[in-house]
Chain A
Amino acid sequence: MTMQVPKLPRDFGFGEDHEVLRDSAQRFLAERCPLDEVRRLADDPLGYDPGLWKEIAGLGWTGLMVAEEHGGAGLGALHLALLLEEMGRVLLPSPFLAGALAGAALSAAGDVRWLPGLASGDLQATLAFAEPEGSWEPGDVAATAEPGKNGFVLRGAKAYVPAAASANLVVAPFREPDGAMALFAVELPAAGVVVEPETGVDPTRRSGRVLFDDARVGAEARLPGDGAAALAAAFRLGWTALAAEAVGAAESTLLLTRDYAVDRSQFGRQIGSFQAVKHPLVNVMIAVESARTLTYGAAAAIDHAEESSEIPARMAKAAASDAFHFAANRAVQFHGGYGFTIDCDVHHFFKRALWVRATLGDAIHHRRHLADALIDPS
């Protein structure tokens, strides 16, 4: 990783189109995904609302970063970040993020075959970025692809695959006999591929294991180009996207707690007037605002200096994971006995914070890589 922090436009590239997208998303999601709906979908077998998915596709969100010639809107990472911030704000249960990550990998690999389907929402794709024994890093892949008759034989297990059960296309990295990594896109269902739903800590985030048990796929399943580079690009976008969603969710968590600290009285005073409550909430606000800054910076880096966006994207994910967790931790505590119950909305946010932290690397993990860049630049 280079030590260089990329050049960014002084306005982060933010313009009117960003503003319009964010405002329309905020209005739409506030109306269509209130917390009652989150509660309902948390207990739903599918875990999301297919009708809402169609509406989201109709708004052009599923093709947000897909190039226009392939049916998308051709917008950038800052657009995606602002949209995901709004989705995080309402804890939208949706396979949206999975599709965005798969789309990033496909686009980076230069494979356009599935992009129109992704953009229209007809195709629900996911990116299998982790393995059961693996790490949070893109290079750590044990699953193998062996050339066979008319194609490849895929072997190995992928874990924590977002929206695995509802996906009809999975993009996943495999190691080829020469040790190089290649990306494959496999339409589901497929012979030799088993999807096992996982029970996640956050019921608004569905995931599963995808097991490739001597799965025979055609040669066309292998994506062209440098699989490692494409996956790394998808990770940079993924860190930024997760950070954006976390910032939105952390914002809601902070406001929920602020409102409670204003409404709730003890000892004849609003508890928000006690500095033991007020000062930690200010610390939460600072953490959230700092994470928001870093997230916009990472998105702008992807839009304007993609090749040097690793440091900003890791910083964003580290800061947002920690800020959201901090917000959720204080939210439970400051809601007191009520906050500890399933009747209080705070637990939805707390569980999402645990999911965010465990997905695509927590702060400790990213700081380790950032320290490598800072102290021993290659």
Chain B
Amino acid sequence: MQAEQEAPEPSEITEFRREARAWIQANHPGDPGFKLPQSFLEVESDQQFDYLRDWQRKAYEAGYLGLDWPVEYGGGGRPGLQRIVGQEMARANTPFFVNTIGLQWAGPTILHYGTEEQKQRMLKPLLSAEEIWCQGFSEPGAGSDLASVQTRAVPTDDGWLVSGHKVWTTIAHKAKWMILLARTDPDVNKYAGLSYFLMPMDVAGVTVQPLIKMSGEGGFNQVIFDEAPMPRDALLGELGQGWQVAMTTLMHERGAAEGSGGAEIGSAGEGVRRVAALAAQVQRDGRPASEDPVLRDRLAELWIREEALRLGSQRARMEGLCRERPLALRLMNKLVFSEFAQDLADLSCQLEGPAAQLWLGDANAPDRAEWPRAYMNSFGMTIGGGTSEIQRNILGERVLGLPKSK
């Protein structure tokens, strides 16, 4: 069942794929012997962080990160090849890259809007994981209504002073930089008053406080700014252009735009097959869960959804097969993938029958309680980066052409 969708392809790509596969096989960091986070959203301990950062640095130094980006900024200058690496790494089940926010959200935005100096300064250490990035968009009072952010950036002689409160900030505790959306003009409409900054995190007036997720895991924070200074060249794009720049970031965050420095987000792979294997191992009502006709139907339904996602990312690159609504597949990717992943995790818990009540640390928990944990963590994807409800508004209005919800 392993997806072999790549064939046939040009021979130089096949050659590159072969090299990448061999390198990954030889350099896969293996099981570290301690609990790893399920995604970049839950990186907590120094031990986890160091293991993951080493892996990213190693992949970058071997030439398998930033392939699509220009050579002068530390990239590989070979557009289109990052995807191949992503496919091979997914196949080999390698760890994720700890600087995902840098690779997928900040990096492409800097490439798009950055000055020459910003690109020279920021991108290489981002690729090597020497400098970790976090995202300062949401605030306690500005979640789905992102344009209502109240954090202020007040100009000074040589830059800005930032004051405000950002929340649900993944990996801020390890970050050197933040992509920051802040209000620079409170007197114009809420969209026009925003600007976008590359904010240093290691300055006075920045306090990072951990938030614990419902799974008990960390990696999540809130960040308080109290007149924290930023240099003048922290501004990305024009003054007052912040909303537009933020939308570019969100397009990347939602997997709706190409040009990421690392693996693609929302790429469906082998999930259902793994769960089908689990179903054969766990008992429900005195027989393997895989013999339950209702669960079999649910598994097949998810398999169809997974295959539609996998083939959909292939179809999205074929303009001629997306004529009805050219943007739909890209814009719906985050919504569809996150809901698929959530439903798969939910079904996996149900498959386990009574054992689904066991949690991390219990010796009898199936798959070391990976699935209840995955189910809880799946809400990070259906809420973060614009909730599923916001995604449906966007799709309804921008793709289907329905009138705006007031």
Is B one of A's binding partners? yes
C-alpha spacing A9/B4, complex, angstroms: 9
User: Is A367 in contact with B304, judged by CB distance below 8 angstroms?
Assistant: yes
| B393 contacts A285, C-beta separation under 8 Å | no
- Which single residue of chain B is at the shortest CB-CB distance from A259? B401
Which residues of chain B have C-beta atoms less than 8 A from A367's C-beta? Answer: 296-297, 300-301, 304
Tell me whether A12 and B336 are in contact (CB under 8 A): no
Does A18 have its Cβ within 8 Å of any Cβ on chain B? yes
A262 within 8 A of B: yes
Kindly specify which of A41-49, A102-110, A193-201, A369-377 makes contact with the partner chain. Answer: A369-377
Q: Is B328's CB under 8 angstroms from A285's CB?
A: yes
Among A272, A286, A319, contact of B336 (Cβ-Cβ < 8 Å): A286
Q: Is the CB of B299 within 8 A of A293?
A: no
Distance from A331 Cβ to chain B, minimum over Cβ atoms (Å) = 14
List B contacts of A289 (CB < 8 A).
312, 324-325, 328-329, 332
In this complex, how many residues of chain A approach chain B with their Cβ under 8 Å: the count is 52
**B312-A290 in contact (CB<8A):** yes
- Partner of B400 from the list A285, A294, A364, A366 (CB cut-off 8 Å) is A285
Whether the pair A262, B296 counts as a contact (CB closer than 8 A) is no
Q: How distant is B240 from chain A, measured CB to nearest CB, in Å? A: 29
Residues of chain A lying within 8 A (CB to CB) of residue B335 = 286
A93 at the interface (CB under 8 A from B): no
- Contact status of A273 and B402, CB under 8 A, knowing A296-B315, A297-B311: yes
Query: Chain A's nearest CB lies how many Å from the CB of B189?
Result: 21
Docked complex Cα distance between A368 and B300 (Å)? 7
Inter-chain contact A375/B406, CB cutoff 8 Å: no
Are B400 and A282 touching (Cβ within 8 A)?
A: yes
Q: Find out whether the CB atom of A282 lies under 8 angstroms from the CB atom of B392.
A: yes
Complex Cα distance, B5 from A269, in Å, reads 46
CB-CB under 8 A from A9, the residues of chain B are 7-8
Chain B, residue nearest A287 (CB)? B308
Q: Which secondary structure dominates chain B's binding surface?
A: helix
Shortest beta-carbon distance from B305 to chain A in Å: 7
Return chain B residues, CB-CB under 8 Å to A8. Answer: 5, 311, 314
* Contact present for B396 and A281 (CB under 8 Å): yes
Residues on B with C-beta less than 8 A from A315 are 303-304, 307-308
Let me know if A319 and B308 touch, CB within 8 A: yes
Chain B residues within an 8 Å CB radius of A312:
307
Chain A residues in 8 Å Cβ range of B299: 371, 374-375
Contact residues on B (Cβ < 8 Å of other chain), bracket? 35 or more
B303 and A18 contact, CB distance less than 8 A: no
**Cα-based distance from A282 to B401 in the complex (angstroms):** 11
Query: Digit string of B255-294 for contact with A (CB within 8 Å is 1, else 0)?
Result: 0000000000000000011001001100000000010010
CA distance A278 to B397 in the complex (A): 8
Of A7, A18, A278, A366, which one neighbours B392 at CB under 8 angstroms? A278
Q: Is A318 an interface residue (CB 8 A)?
A: yes
* With A262-B403, A293-B315, A296-B315 as contacts: A10 and B324 at CB distance below 8 Å: no
CB distance from B312 to the nearest CB of A (A): 5
A19 to B319 alpha-carbon distance, docked (Å): 11
Interchain Cβ contacts under 8 Å between A and B, 18 examples: A3-B1, A12-B314, A14-B320, A270-B402, A274-B405, A275-B393, A279-B389, A289-B329, A297-B307, A318-B300, A318-B304, A364-B297, A367-B301, A371-B296, A371-B297, A374-B272, A374-B276, A375-B279
Extra A-B contacts (15), CB below 8 Å, given A285-B332, A294-B311? A8-B314, A9-B7, A12-B314, A261-B402, A278-B402, A279-B393, A282-B400, A289-B325, A289-B329, A293-B311, A293-B315, A296-B311, A319-B304, A368-B300, A374-B1
Residues on A lying within 8 angstroms of B by beta carbon are 3-12, 14, 18-19, 251, 258, 261-262, 269-270, 272-275, 277-279, 281-283, 285-286, 289-294, 296-297, 312, 315, 318-319, 364, 366-368, 370-371, 374-376
9 closest A-B pairs (Cβ-Cβ)?
A367-B300, A371-B296, A290-B308, A272-B402, A278-B396, A370-B300, A273-B403, A371-B300, A7-B4
